[in-house]
Amino acid sequence: MTPFQHPIDPGLHPKCQTTLVGHQAAYDQLRQSFQSNAMPPVWLLAGERGIGKATLAYTITREILAHEGQDPALIARQIAQGSYPNFLVLERSMNGEGKIPREITAEDGRKVNLFLRQCAAIPGWRVVMIDAVDEMNRTAANALLKILEEPPAKTIFFLITHSLGQVLPTIRSRACKLQLFPLKDAEIATSMNDDLPPEILSLAQGSIGRAMALKQAGGLRLLDQVIQAMGGALKGDWRPVQALSASFDKDNPSYDVMLDLIIWTLHRLILLAHLPLSENADDGKLGQLTKLKAMMHWVNAFQRINQFLEIARTSHLDRNHVIMAIFFMIENPTVGDEFVYRSF
């Protein structure tokens, strides 16, 4: 879907999870490799955002670091607190200004060199996790590559990627790739210990991270707002769009979830537009939207808005600007760039 990071309660961060949901075959492969002393030093865990790649990496990391007889419970607590000395994780996390940076920088990457130059604080294995390696800028990625050319002894790297094609080929060639796949609806529902509506599970598309974000954001209510705003824009009634925009000021943590839902809705409309009217009429309000425009309208809007969101993500455009521009493109996907990027 979109490349945005969903806001999740800190207590639900993968480092705090003690139960691995799904990915049993991948876990067994990692565990068997380590226990048989045939563990490759660099692993590339690939798959969609939010499906549990980091949770898998944290799970096997706790086992590796406890291998030398350390207390597993103590290690788990220190990893959750970010204080275990033989473990380093690089990720885009909220800075002092309350913002999540766009990338992992060279300055962040230097922490890996510093960590590995020092002697291990505790005799035994060390683990470096990068979540996610496709979010490193080119300088940081090149610095990592030099380290991976000759990995230090008794050190394991877990490189997480949401987009394998964005990882340098030279890094991919030095890693053992482990492809992970979306979770089943039943696995998500069980892991969240909640009777999630089928609609939320469908929207989650196998991502437990997306399911959590949707639940926190009131996903079905928000989806209804998005659909109403789309219908309003197509009929020349901009009141639903303005109401949606007004509800997403800078303090609303569900902004990225809302953008995700817009893209999901456009994708669903393209699929529905392939069906005869008698079949898509059962899809409620979405079925009604397909009657307003032909399929190519939705295809063009989907492509144009995806491109726009890539720019919006990297340039920190004003939220109101982004939302209004999206719905102008829904109304008319061919609207010129000079109109889309001007201030509203």
The domain segmentation of the chain, as residue ranges, is 10-181, 218-340
140 vs 101: CA distance, rounded Å = 14
In the block, tokens 């599970």 appear at: 201
Residue predicted with more confidence, 54 or 250: 54
Digit-coded pLDDT (tens) for 240-270? 999 999 988 776 778 888 898 898 889 888 8
d(CA 262, CA 256): 10
pTM: 0.77
Q: Which of 77 and 12 is assigned the larger pLDDT? A: 77
* Band of pLDDT at residue 342, cut at 50, 70 and 90: confident
The terminus-to-terminus CA distance of the chain in angstroms comes to 26
Q: Is residue 213 helix, strand or coil?
A: helix
CATH code for residues 10-181: 3.40.50.300
In the chain, the percentage of residues whose pLDDT exceeds 70 is 90
State how far the Cα of 104 lies from the Cα of 275, in Å rounded to an integer: 43
pLDDT of 257 reads: 85
Q: Minimum mean pLDDT among 8-22, 236-250, 277-291, 309-323: which range?
A: 277-291
Q: Quote the CA–CA distance of 48 and 156 in Å, as a whole number.
A: 23
Per-residue pLDDT tens digits for 183-234? 998 888 887 776 677 777 877 888 888 888 788 777 788 888 999 999 999 9
Spatial CA neighbour of 259 closest among 313, 332, 297: 313
Please answer whether residues 72 and 61 qualify as being in contact, where contact means their C-beta atoms are separated by less than 8 angstroms. Answer: no
Is the confidence at residue 291, as pLDDT, over 60?
Answer: yes
